[in-house]
């Protein structure tokens, strides 16, 4: 199976000021990052917790954090750190992650952070590899 | 143009308990509510604010409230109240709204509530009709 191990893209998203509550862009089918829609779900990450490591074999993830602040770290097959970034409500962005990349994330907000994943494949345990936190170094916060 | 003015469905969604932060289901392409993916976006509704009234001519909305608590009210073309319901993080559900229905919503949480819409058409001002809050009665909270 071919594992796409190329670019992780991080794109700033628009937050539109609206009386009564803002509107936050996420993803359109016409965006270059969009491949297909199969499933959307939220993952919560509690303050100070780290979830790592996981790798999808087929899924491209589109990740946004509308609430809170999350550090995401990504390693390639050669166990090289290829991306280490923070996104959240005040750094409101979309991270697009092709399959084949190890990822972990940590909740940096004082309360729960919410991650929305819009995925191009359905959740399937056979498509996910998992390793314990000790498998790779979770790096310090980026400067 | 045919306006589908039939059922609004409200479906309980799963919240899966996970160490470090729960996982919240939203929508799969295999769900009966799913039609197509064209755009996803968040609307925030501030505490005590009401956004009303709006009607999509083409869009089917799939609405979830992962954070906060929101009252949604829906009227048909005959200005009859057809649905008045509360969803939110402790009443975690999906509301699917076909086109042709007037809707309004109010933030019932003490802080910002977040509404995710997964829509089967792109945002387009020509596809949306708007009326002021006085156009229809925003009903009291359902019992």
Domain assignment present for A140:
no
What is the pLDDT, as a whole number, of residue B6?
63
**pLDDT tens digits along B26-70:** 999 999 999 999 999 999 999 999 999 999 999 999 999 999 999
Domains held by chain A: number: 1
**pLDDT tens digits along B78-90:** 999 999 999 999 9
ipTM of the complex: 0.94
Q: How confident is the model at residue A6 (pLDDT cuts 50, 70, 90)?
A: low
Domain assignment present for B29:
yes
| Residue in the block written with tokens 């604010």 | B49
Q: How far is CA B53 from the centre of its chain?
A: 12
Domain assignment present for B3:
no
Contact across the interface for B41 and A23, Cβ inside 8 Å: yes
Mean pLDDT value of segment A32-59: 97
Tell me the CATH number at A95.
2.60.120.10
What is the pLDDT, as a whole number, of residue A77?
87
Domain assignment present for B79:
yes
Contact across the interface for B50 and A20, Cβ inside 8 Å: yes
Least confident of A2-16, A32-46, B38-52, B124-138: A2-16
Q: How far is A81 from chain B (nearest CA, A)?
A: 23
Q: Which domain holds residue B90?
A: 9-135
Contact across the interface for A30 and B122, Cβ inside 8 Å: yes
Q: What percent of chain B has pLDDT over 90?
A: 92
DSSP class of B128: E
Domain assignment present for A71:
yes
pTM over 0.90: yes
B74, B97 Cβ separation under 8 angstroms: yes
What is the pLDDT, as a whole number, of residue B7?
84
DSSP class of B60: P
Task: Evaluate if residue B5 carries a pLDDT over 70.
Answer: no
In whole angstroms, give the CA distance from residue B77 to residue B94: 23
Q: Is B89 left (phi over 0), alpha (psi -120 to 50) or beta?
A: alpha
Domain assignment present for B82:
yes
Domain assignment present for A141:
no
Cβ contacts of B20 on chain A, cutoff 8 Å? 45-46, 49-51, 107
Domain assignment present for B140:
no
Contact across the interface for A49 and B21, Cβ inside 8 Å: yes
């Amino acid at each position: 199976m071919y594992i796409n191990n190329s670019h992780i893209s991080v794109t700033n998203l628009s937050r539109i000021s609206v009386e009564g509550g803002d509107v936050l862009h996420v993803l359109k089918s016409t965006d270059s990052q969009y491949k297909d829609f199969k499933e959307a779900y939220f993952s919560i990450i509690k303050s100070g917790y780290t979830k790592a490591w996981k790798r999808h074999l087929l899924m491209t993830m589109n990740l946004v954090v509308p609430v809170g602040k999350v550090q995401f770290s990504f390693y390639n097959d050669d166990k090289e750190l290829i991306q280490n970034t923070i996104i959240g409500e005040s750094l409101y962005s979309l991270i697009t992650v092709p399959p084949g990349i190890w990822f972990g994330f940590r909740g940096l907000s004082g309360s729960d952070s919410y991650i929305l994943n819009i995925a191009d494949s359905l959740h399937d345990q056979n498509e996910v590899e998992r390793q314990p936190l000790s498998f790779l170094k979770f790096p310090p916060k980026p400067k």
